[in-house]
Amino acid sequence: MHRTFFIETFGCQMNKGDSDLMRLSLEKAGFIEANTSEEAEICLFNTCSVRQHAEDRAVSRIESTKYGKGGRKKIVVIAGCAAQRIGDDIVKSGRADIAVGPYQSPMIGEIVKDYIENGFKCRSLFVSQNTEDFQERLNEGLINSREENPWHKWVTITHGCENFCTYCIVPYVRGKLISFPSERIIQFIKDLAAQGIMEITLLGQNVNQYGQDSGDIPFYKLLEKTAQVEGLEKINFLTSHPMDFSTEIVRVMADHPNISRGIHLPLQSGSDSVLKRMNRKYTMKSYMDIIEAINRTLPDYAISTDLIVGFPGETEDQFNETLDAVKKIRYDEAFMYAYSPRKGTPSFKLEEKLSRNEKIDRLNRLISLQREISLEKLKSRIDKTENAIAERISKKSSEEISGKTSLNHPVVFRGDAGDLGRVIPLRITEVRGSTLFGEKI
Ligand code: SF4
């Protein structure tokens, strides 16, 4: 009987959460986690399909894993978004033994056990996402998932997405929106707080659409109920969509200081024409309305975004509109990408006029503008008072503690193990790279 397993995770936070569910399910089925893929008898690859490069990297890892040291055959499992897209082919060609989609994560232990005991030759499994069983097990995983930061938990509130942004593969591999029942979510969060968890992140592809599929309470009410859970010092939410980001969310944030002041609001492009081709369903005007509502309501906050340059048909003027938006909004941080066509998405069929080099040139111009702004904004924190959750002893010095401020900036300060898991008021003294340094008040 194969007993040891190793999970290699690619891609986003949702995948990391699914890997936690897989680990839990495998351990429940009697398997033991190995330290490396070389040692493991069962290798699971939780793949990402968002970019061709990510998918190719996962497939190449799968192809090189089939045999361990001494030529011993391993059981190889392809899971996650790429499995949903190409898993069947990978299994049929003999490169993997089992393919499962993202919605089998909580059952993977039984699937692997069944495979071993019944000696199936190969197996591809993609069941419906909307099963009671799935929700039940997902919820179990919420409580038990492991994290690097012992005071924090990710709490998945929705799965799937039906927004169909034209560059994005997610709706095709993760399926329709499902919101987990709010009563269950709040109960889990209460249980987490009772276990000493201080910070949570509500997670979904578009959290602002929470409840739209099920008729449950809207997102801002879920956020409000979460903020009222006793013992929670900080609540984050990811990812927001400007189409659904209502002013009620801003009001709830203003009413509850334990909701993080670090807001992530993906803009993608500053050009209405490009936004339309991306099928983003908002305009620069409606995006700016949200920014103005935040400015009016929250005295201090940090804002981050995602930006894509070189989308098919993006002219120099349209790219300049993105630069203008960045100058106007002054993001604290931005995740910036040059567009790369993704097979299986509608924009794959759009004609590209820019060469790779031209896209990279635009990306570099955007990055250098954003770097300047990020640094100026970080420096503007000097001499301010910030509350930070002390997360861990710094890797660089046993006398330093690292954590994050309520605006989600990484921060380091002199302290000791007694600070861990507490909210520490700090005066910011310095910026090094993208980290703030402070001293206890
Ligand atoms: S909102 Fe758009 S970018 Fe985000 S997951 Fe859905 S389709 Fe993809």
Average pLDDT, the chain: 90
- Bridge partner list, 221: none
177 close to ligand 1 (CB < 6 Angstrom): no
Query: For residue range 158-186, what is the model confidence (pLDDT) as tens digits?
Result: 888 999 999 999 998 888 898 989 998 99
In this model, does residue 132 exceed pLDDT 60?
no
Domain of residue 361, residue span:
132-379
Total tally of structural domains belonging to the chain: 3
**pLDDT exceeding 90 applies to what percent of the chain?**
67
Q: How far does residue 143's CA lie from ligand 1's centre (Å)?
A: 27
Q: Is residue 112 domain-shared with residue 163, that is, in the same domain? A: no
Quickly state the pLDDT bin for 110 (edges 50, 70, 90): confident
In this model, does residue 147 exceed pLDDT 70?
no
Please identify, among 82, 98, 125, the residue that sits at the C-terminal boundary of a domain. Answer: 125
168 close to ligand 1 (CB < 6 Angstrom): yes
- Mean pLDDT for the stretch of residues 257-284: 98
In this model, does residue 133 exceed pLDDT 60?
no
171 close to ligand 1 (CB < 6 Angstrom): yes
pLDDT of residue 145: 54
Q: Is residue 258 domain-shared with residue 164, that is, in the same domain? A: yes
241 close to ligand 1 (CB < 6 Angstrom): yes
* Residue length of the chain: 441
- Please state the atom number of ligand 1 nearest to the C-alpha of residue 174: 5
Are 261 and 406 contacting, i.e. CB atoms less than 8 angstroms apart?
Answer: yes
Q: Is residue 341 domain-shared with residue 359, that is, in the same domain? A: yes
176 close to ligand 1 (CB < 6 Angstrom): no
Distance CA 369, CA 374 (A): 9
- Please state the atom number of ligand 1 nearest to the C-alpha of residue 280: 2
Instruction: Name the least confident of 59-68, 184-193, 374-383.
Output: 59-68
165 close to ligand 1 (CB < 6 Angstrom): yes
359 close to ligand 1 (CB < 6 Angstrom): no
Q: Is residue 325 domain-shared with residue 203, that is, in the same domain? A: yes
pLDDT of residue 137: 53
pLDDT of residue 159: 85
Q: Assign residue 426 the CATH number of its domain.
A: 2.40.50.140
85 close to ligand 1 (CB < 6 Angstrom): no
Q: Assign residue 161 the CATH number of its domain.
A: 3.80.30.20
Q: Is residue 145 domain-shared with residue 110, that is, in the same domain? A: no
Q: Is residue 147 domain-shared with residue 274, that is, in the same domain? A: yes
- Please state the atom number of ligand 1 nearest to the C-alpha of residue 206: 1
Q: Is residue 180 domain-shared with residue 85, that is, in the same domain? A: no
- Please state the atom number of ligand 1 nearest to the C-alpha of residue 279: 2
164 close to ligand 1 (CB < 6 Angstrom): yes
pLDDT of residue 222: 98
Q: Is residue 280 domain-shared with residue 180, that is, in the same domain? A: yes
Residue 287 in 3-state DSSP? helix
Q: How far does residue 169's CA lie from ligand 1's centre (Å)?
A: 8
Q: Which two tokens stand for residue 205?
A: 């592809």
Q: How far does residue 26's CA lie from ligand 1's centre (Å)?
A: 30
pTM of the model as a whole: 0.87
In this model, does residue 131 exceed pLDDT 90?
no
Q: Is residue 40 domain-shared with residue 162, that is, in the same domain? A: no
Sorted by sequence, the CB contacts under 8 Å of residue 356 that are 6+ apart come out as 338
Q: Assign residue 98 the CATH number of its domain.
A: 3.40.50.12160
Higher pLDDT, 425 or 173: 425
Quickly state the pLDDT bin for 278 (edges 50, 70, 90): very high
Q: Which two tokens stand for residue 164?
A: 């169909």
Higher pLDDT, 109 or 309: 309
161 close to ligand 1 (CB < 6 Angstrom): yes
Q: Is residue 241 domain-shared with residue 306, that is, in the same domain? A: yes
Quickly state the pLDDT bin for 299 (edges 50, 70, 90): very high
Please identify, among 101, 125, 149, the residue that sits at the C-terminal boundary of a domain. Answer: 125
Distance CA 397, CA 269 (A): 41
Q: Is residue 208 domain-shared with residue 137, that is, in the same domain? A: yes
159 close to ligand 1 (CB < 6 Angstrom): no
Please identify, among 125, 150, 165, the residue that sits at the C-terminal boundary of a domain. Answer: 125
Q: How far does residue 417's CA lie from ligand 1's centre (Å)?
A: 41
pLDDT of residue 127: 46
Quickly state the pLDDT bin for 138 (edges 50, 70, 90): low
pLDDT of residue 118: 81
Place of tokens 């699914």: 18
In this model, does residue 238 exceed pLDDT 60?
yes
Query: For residue range 59-74, what is the model confidence (pLDDT) as tens digits?
Result: 999 988 877 666 668 8
Q: Is residue 141 domain-shared with residue 283, that is, in the same domain? A: yes
Are 390 and 361 contacting, i.e. CB atoms less than 8 angstroms apart?
Answer: no
pLDDT of residue 13: 81
Burial of 399 (0-12, 13-18, 19+ CB in 10 A): exposed
Higher pLDDT, 92 or 435: 435
